[in-house]
Structure 1
Amino acid sequence: MITLLDYGAGNVRSVRNAVEKLGGTLTTVTSPEDILSAEKIIFPGVGNYENMIQVLNRKGLMAPLREYLASNRPFFGICLGMQALFQGSEEDLSNNESIGFFSGRVERFKTRLSVPHMGWNGIHLKQDSPLLDRIGPDARFYFVHSFHLVPHDPSVVLTTTTYDYEFASAIQQGNIIGTQFHPEKSGKHGMQILENFIRLTDFTPAGRVDILGKGLAKRIIACLDVRSNDQGDLVVTKGDQYDVREKPGAADKGNVRNLGKPVDLARRYYEEGADEITFLNITGFRDFPLADLPMITVLEQTSKNVFVPLTIGGGIKDYTDAEGRHYTALEVADRYFRSGADKISIGSDAVHIAKAFVDTGKKTGKSAIEQISRVYGAQAVVISIDPRRVYVAARQEAAGHHVIETGIPGPDGERFCWYQCTVQGGRTAVDLDAVTLAKACEALGAGEILLNCIDRDGTKSGFDLELIRAVKQAVTIPVIASSGAGSPAHFSEVFTETRADAALAAGIFHRKEVPIPQVKDHLAGHGIPVRRS
């Protein structure tokens, strides 16, 4: 029997699904007494450290947690669930009292690399543990965090990971265990760690496990644009420059292009080795997204068999329903997180939020970006940018915008361009450029940029390297390159010619024109680190 400590924030559904798939039986903490009577506890901390500690104190869980830990019964803290075992964090501006079972604190990454540290990285073994039985030397695990542990006692460090510098990525003392990475999102190797925890009753050191520390892999992300077709069925589609209907000459011209069922395709991509899966709900909302139950169901069903990170985008903003009840973007996002999403993607609403911030220079604290980031952490908020090129003959023609000198001249030989943001699926232009938008959203608390390009969408001509360079140089958060991939060479090009952290594709994966394993084989052959499933 596994007791799940769910304090009410983030995606714990994936942990539940993983444990149940491995044959474990779960019960959830509903009172302090449930902690004291538990046989084994898994604490999957997700989101913001300060919010987590405040909730634990408010629910009266601190004292029973300390008593349980002192008894040396099996405990597995994941991400914030591990960090909470120590004495505090720089993320907690109120300096609340933490569990304090171990000596040490949590500090923000001080690095030239992207923060959050996001993606698949290796581990270096510092002590023996049966928790790591049957974990091979090529194992990588999924990390997503801006703060890392600095323990005072090095003897509790189980593994370290290198991200510009070495940090503690797992700890163990007796039967008390914690990992910074998310085993429930780390594919077969993460599932093996969870199985070891479920199976074992004692974590006394066993034979040494030889785990070589691989570096951070470049992520390959499969994107599924989901919408209702003309018959009312939820399908995966793909547009050409955002037009998702079949062109003249096709047998079903004018119909929404149907490339498969969302849950089936997501499972296929997981099995093929996709590092993340993104669902973008492009169905127009007539009323309110919480009534959009098919997408909730898609997430719930997908998370039962797909153990890599899931992102959901579409309609995550403030709403007022037909009866006058107001729902915040935070409430909408929470429903998606509880249904299996790890990250949410904000598109058109982010443009309006950023424009207001740029115009006033003031944060309101009430925008969707700020609210969700404050509760769930920056790593949970992805900004989806949909820009198109605007050519100009001289820089001064686009005063106030980030203008670049382009190697791809315009129709009249223009040597300069800027990237204009759009909303409503690319249909409406806004007087804001992509670089300014990305910088504003980072300042407001976003943790990642999904950088599309309308001009390249569906062209198979390669990613817009100039756009990616411009945005990546302007922000410190991870950037996902999107739009235009047509061959494995386009993926190696974007990783060698820009500092993109990940690359995303859709149509070429859906149609099996370029399978994910082929992309990864190509990247590995060119010396670019990738995760093998």
Structure 2
Amino acid sequence: MLIDPPHMLTTSRLCQVSCVKDIENASRIIFPGVGACGQATEAVQRMGYREALIDYLKADRPFLGICLGMQILFDGSTENGGVEGLGVVPGTIRQFDTSLGLPVPHIGWNNLIPKKESPLLNCVGDRRVYFVHSFAAFPDEENKDWVLATGEYAGEFVSTLQKGNVYATQWHPEKSGAAGLDFIHGFLDPEWAAAQPRLDPSASRASNGVPRGLAKRVIACLDVRANDHGDLVVTKGDQYDVRESADASSGAGSSKGEVRNLGKPVELAGRYFEDGADEVTFLNITGFRDSPVADLPMLEVLRQTSRGVFVPLTVGGGIRSFTDAAGVHHPALEVAGAYFRSGADKVSIGGDAVLAAEAYYARGGVPDGSTAIEAISTHYGAQAVVVSIDPRRVYVRAPEDTEHVTVETATPGPNGERYCWWQCTVRGGREGRDVDAVQLARCVAHLGAGEILLNCIDRDGAGSGFDLELVKAVSDAVTIPVIASSGAGRPSHFSDVFRETGAAAALAAGIFHRREVAIAEVKADMARAGIPVRQSA
């Protein structure tokens, strides 16, 4: 929780709440929150802030609640088995209905639908803003006086609240690029907000022909590892080989050269933010693994990036329980917490998810609470957990030749096989396991993952397009969002995967790093195809 002491109206002068007196003496409060409602309300109660917050809000003093900071204002939430809120806003927070056919969590850039005029909405204008949540408030007669704006996702939900000087957003201003920063600026400086052009709620928001609603996301991925000199660099390789071929004239005596260096992580992430990437993903492929909590360079990359990149950041690599060299055990929740505190919004779990799935199916498909996915999801919410799947094609002549989920493929195998399944791998694609991509996706969704990053070893670096059959098979099998990865070579490949599958997002690395394709080109192609897309401005 952040407070703005009297006469300190710049974000650089915000202070963190450390006691009840801070709440009582603040001129403004910003209450951000990411996680599960039960943990948030328990923390407010444990720290003794509950009554002070209720008194502050009922006195109509300036307040901005963000995500969980909005949800705890309600009477309660059905999350975590049911929890009591502050009771300031009538109603109960409920989960989105997955039976309506849309992925849950609701993740990505969506439009605001104004219900009344407000200087703060004028600060946002027609721009999309970023949401990431599984639970929401829904407009009704009891809370209609509070509803400033709604959103559309499997029906109408409450996106923004306002009554007097109390504001709250289900969306994340701090992750909504320039639109979100303008919103926060307006909250901190009401005179500046009042000078912004008036937003006409009846005006068309699709003057460029791009449909409204949840946009399909374009994600820039940065594979980060230490080079031979110990410096972190962004690299990329085909089928996970990230070293250059050695110069035969150098006399190195090896077929492998230096780690391929495509730039510095913080600088590239900043470039992609400016270019209009909807999210940035860091995949830490350094072989440190003995002590992820002590991986200070990667934690520093996150800290520096989050100071200037105002879109969501995901980090993967080493998110697991481990025992360090001193014999101290560190649970996965602690590892994830270190990354979250350094600026990550989501963590990505890879090979450990495959091992968790093997144990899950061995138990007959029953969760036991022991996995990193379950621990992190329970504490931080499903939206904080991404599972990265690294599968490769296995061809069979007929579905009955395997126990795995198969599809009839338009790309027959080397011996004319007409069916295939996708074998999950671990250890950077070097080891195959007896779990297929659909099985793994269903398992991790049940365990509490909020999103799937779906790679494809066969397509990695090929530039021939995403494996549409794989993406369709997995996105059809689960009710959580799927990110397509591996194989993009031109802008139309993104439009193809969004038209032909249920993918919620698509990710690329090398083509962006090498400037072969610009993010703006990808979004322009999507807009021409009638696919909802966030404009970079």
TM-score of the aligned structures, taking structure 2 as reference length = 0.93
Contact 1:350-1:383 within 8 A present in 2 as well: yes
Q: Give matches, 1:197-276, under 5 Å.
A: 197-200=187-190, 208-211=198-201, 214-247=212-245, 254-276=257-279
Alignment deviations for residues 133-167 of structure 1 (CA, whole Å, 9 cap, x no partner): 34332x10000011111352212100011112111
1:4 deviates by 7.5
1:354 deviates by 1.2
Contact 2:303-2:342 within 8 A present in 1 as well: yes
Q: 1-side partners of 2:21 and 2:77: how far apart?
A: 27
1:506 aligned to 506, 509, 513, which one?
Answer: 509
Q: 1-side partners of 2:287 and 2:243: how far apart?
A: 15
**Which residue of 1 is the match for residue 454 of structure 2?**
451
Q: 2-side partners of 1:21 and 1:515: how far apart?
A: 38
Q: Does 1:26 align with 2:14?
A: yes
1:283 deviates by 0.7
1:23 deviates by 4.7
DSSP-derived class of the 1:379 partner: helix
How many residues are paired up?
516
DSSP-derived class of the 1:388 partner: strand
Q: 2-side partners of 1:22 and 1:75: how far apart?
A: 15
The aligned amino acid for 1:448 is E
Q: 1-side partners of 2:112 and 2:410: how far apart?
A: 41
DSSP-derived class of the 2:456 partner: coil
| CA shift in 2, pair 1:178/1:205, >3 Å | farther
Contact 1:456-1:463 within 8 A present in 2 as well: yes
DSSP-derived class of the 2:370 partner: coil
**Which residue of 2 is the match for residue 38 of structure 1?**
26
| CA shift in 2, pair 1:176/1:431, >3 Å | same
1:324 deviates by 1.1
Q: Does 1:351 align with 2:361?
A: no
Q: 2-side partners of 1:21 and 1:332: how far apart?
A: 35
Q: 1-side partners of 2:337 and 2:270: how far apart?
A: 23
Q: Give matches, 1:115-514, under 5 Å.
A: 115-137=104-126, 139-151=127-139, 152-200=142-190, 208-211=198-201, 214-247=212-245, 254-360=257-363, 361-399=365-403, 401-514=404-517
DSSP-derived class of the 1:154 partner: coil
Long gaps (5+) in structure 2: 206-211, 251-255
Alignment deviations for residues 467-515 of structure 1 (CA, whole Å, 9 cap, x no partner): 0010011000000000000001111111111111000000000000001
Q: Which moved more, 1:59-68 or 1:356-365?
A: 356-365
1:97 aligned to 76, 79, 84, which one?
Answer: 84
Q: 1-side partners of 2:192 and 2:456: how far apart?
A: 53
Q: 1-side partners of 2:415 and 2:155: how far apart?
A: 49
1:526 deviates by 1.4
Q: 1-side partners of 2:323 and 2:75: how far apart?
A: 42
Alignment deviations for residues 41-98 of structure 1 (CA, whole Å, 9 cap, x no partner): 00001100111111111111110000101111100000110111110011141x3331
1:250 deviates by 9.2
1:280 deviates by 0.1
Q: 2-side partners of 1:134 and 1:176: how far apart?
A: 17
Q: 2-side partners of 1:21 and 1:202: how far apart?
A: 11
The aligned amino acid for 1:185 is K
Percent identical residues: 59
1:60 aligned to 48, 56, 59, which one?
Answer: 48
Q: 2-side partners of 1:413 and 1:24: how far apart?
A: 64
| CA shift in 2, pair 1:202/1:522, >3 Å | closer
| CA shift in 2, pair 1:251/1:129, >3 Å | farther
